[in-house]
Amino acid sequence: MLYADFMSSALPPFPTPQEPADAPPLLEVGSGEDEPCLRADAARNRARLLEAAARLVREQGAAHLTMDAVAAAASVGKGTLFRRFGDRTGLLMALLDHSEKKFQAAFMSGPPPLGPGADPVRRLGAFGVALLRRSADELELQLAAEPGPDRRFSTPPRCVQHSHVAMLLRQAAPDADTELLAQTLLGYLNPVLVHHLTRQSGMSLERLEAGWLDLVGRVTRSAQPPDGE
């Protein structure tokens, strides 16, 4: 699949998670134990705080995120922020959880090509492009939360992503060792590698996206041959 062909139809925005009753549960970064009992006003405050925090991380980086700045950006009292998230670490974990839920909802039940309804090769291409764009948008946050070697491949979000990529590979390349190949493909999308390629090596996000689509085409044997072949 050529990059220009894929990009001719833009990815739809991540939907608000609204899954059918029989859909797979969304796995969270944090515990999420207090989520079901939120009142409407508390839920609105939480959403406003998370959006403000995400904006500040994009603009200033996770290392410079402070509780004072988030409260001011969201126009709520600092006490509300501390009551809701406990401390700065709790806020960062909630940010990741919020982002992961939206991403999971998009590839599990959102519109195609990222969600169901497109062929598996196209969905796999859309998955990587969406994950690369998400990493670029919140790279500092993801790097700050990158787990150590003993947990890097066993966190709930990583397991969900691996299962999804392996499922698409079983459909697109049934003769492959899809469990191992899924791990290899996810390595291309790792935030640490994205940081190295974009921030340290000066590669554009568009180049990484095109490389992903080329890789998907090659491993699924669906890449279009060069002119003259």
pLDDT at residue 222, rounded to an integer: 52
Residues above pLDDT 90, as percent of the chain: 51
Model pLDDT for residues 78-117, shown as the tens digit of each residue: 898 998 999 888 898 888 888 899 999 999 999 999 999 9
Model pLDDT for residues 185-195, shown as the tens digit of each residue: 999 999 999 99
Model pLDDT for residues 30-45, shown as the tens digit of each residue: 444 445 455 777 788 7
Number of H helices, E strands in the chain: 11, 0
Coil, strand or helix at 217: helix
Is the pLDDT assigned to residue 2 strictly greater than 80?
no
pLDDT at residue 89, rounded to an integer: 81
Q: For residue 150, what pLDDT band results from cuts at 50, 70 and 90?
A: confident
Is the pLDDT assigned to residue 146 strictly greater than 60?
yes
Distance between terminal CA atoms of the chain?
16
pLDDT at residue 47, rounded to an integer: 84
Q: For residue 58, what pLDDT band results from cuts at 50, 70 and 90?
A: confident
What is the distance, to the nearest Å, from the Cα of residue 36 to the centroid of all Cα atoms in its chain?
23
Q: For residue 209, what pLDDT band results from cuts at 50, 70 and 90?
A: very high
Is the pLDDT assigned to residue 158 strictly greater than 50?
yes
Long-range contact list for 143-152, CB < 8 A, 24+ apart?
Answer: 143/62, 143/191, 143/192, 143/195, 144/62, 144/63, 144/92, 145/29, 145/92, 145/93, 145/96, 146/191, 146/192
pLDDT at residue 124, rounded to an integer: 98
Distance CA 210, CA 25 (A): 31
pLDDT at residue 152, rounded to an integer: 87
Per-chain mean pLDDT for the chain:
82
Is the pLDDT assigned to residue 25 strictly greater than 50?
no
Distance CA 99, CA 197 (A): 23
Is the pLDDT assigned to residue 213 strictly greater than 90?
yes
pLDDT at residue 7, rounded to an integer: 43
Structural domains for the chain? 3-10+95-219 (1.10.357)
